[in-house]
Amino acid sequence: QQQVKQSPQSLIVQKGGISIINCAYENTAFDYFPWYQQFPGKGPALLIAIRPDVSEKKEGRFTISFNKSAKQFSLHIMDSQPGDSATYFCAALTQGGSEKLVFGKGTKLTVNP
Amino acid sequence: NAGVMQNPRHLVRRRGQEARLRCSPMKGHSHVYWYRQLPEEGLKFMVYLQKENIIDESGMPKERFSAEFPKEGPSILRIQQVVRGDSAAYFCASRNELGGLRAFFGQGTRLTVV
């Protein structure tokens, strides 16, 4: 059972456009929701994260929107650039205990020049 | 300040051989996680260790896989009698007690079983 569902699987955007990636979760015990960026041959790197007591968090061109009642959250990349081309993973964890990350399956983003 | 170091970066093993993957956490980090990434899939949790202790191994296959994080030296993920289905990228992440929830990932070891 996929605890964190991510869509779309792939996304092509023109330079300057907005990239939107969506995730939905099942487990209401999740209380921390990070997004990771992964380039080919590299490990995932934390991009931005949000806690469920906040509905939106913005860092530069990256924004997370969070809808607790719908158990959904999304990543928006404004003014997308070719350098943003990578695979993006949403994740979730429960604080306390082992705090292991549960990942979505990833979205491969391609930003065309 | 070096990041999380994993080696080897690439490992090729024949079916039935053993694979040993090493992870040196960031300096000052005493928590280590191992994740496995199959092609076109997200990362899946395998095991969580603190120095000399396995805290959570709920994601580890019951047979052939083991992990350790000794008092001195790197964490080791060991896969005995590898099979083709073990081919994947294995990532290690580390964090410290005070670093909140941020875990830093290594670059991974790509295991290919032929």
Give residue A95's pLDDT: 85
For residue range B38-87, what is the model confidence (pLDDT) as tens digits?
A: 887 889 999 999 988 999 999 999 999 999 999 999 999 999 999 999 99
Give residue B98's pLDDT: 65
Mean per-residue pLDDT over chain B, rounded = 93
B49 three-state secondary structure:
strand
Select the residue of B42, B59, B101 nearest A89 (Cβ to Cβ): B42
Instruction: Decide if A43 and B101 are in contact by the 8 Å CB cutoff.
Output: no
Task: Please state, in angstroms and rounded to a whole number, the distance separating the CA atoms of residues A111 and A61.
Answer: 14
Supply B62's token pair: 């019951």
Q: What is the CA radius of gyration of chain A?
A: 14
Mean per-residue pLDDT over chain A, rounded = 94
| Percentage of chain A modeled with pLDDT above 90 | 89
Q: What is the CA radius of gyration of chain B?
A: 13
Please give the angle made by the CA atoms of A1, A44 and B80, to the nearest 5 degrees. 65
Say how far residue A9 (Cα) sits from the centre of its chain: 12
Instruction: Decide if A44 and B4 are in contact by the 8 Å CB cutoff.
Output: no
For residue range A18-27, what is the model confidence (pLDDT) as tens digits?
A: 999 999 999 9
**CB-based burial label for B9 (10 Å; 0-12, 13-18, 19+):** exposed
Kindly indicate the confidence band of residue B99, based on its pLDDT and cuts at 50, 70 and 90: low
Task: Please state, in angstroms and rounded to a whole number, the distance separating the CA atoms of residues A65 and B99.
Answer: 24
Closest to A5 (Cα-Cα) out of A71, A52, A66, A60: A71
Closest to A58 (Cα-Cα) out of A68, A71, A47, A44: A47
| Percentage of chain A modeled with pLDDT above 70 | 98
Select the residue of A4, A42, A104 nearest B107 (Cβ to Cβ): A42
Residues 23-82 of A with CB under 8 A from B: 32, 34, 36, 41-46, 49
Chain A residues with CB-CB distance to B91 below 8 A: 43-44
Select the residue of B56, B93, B101 nearest A95 (Cβ to Cβ): B101
CB B61 within 8 A of CB B42: no
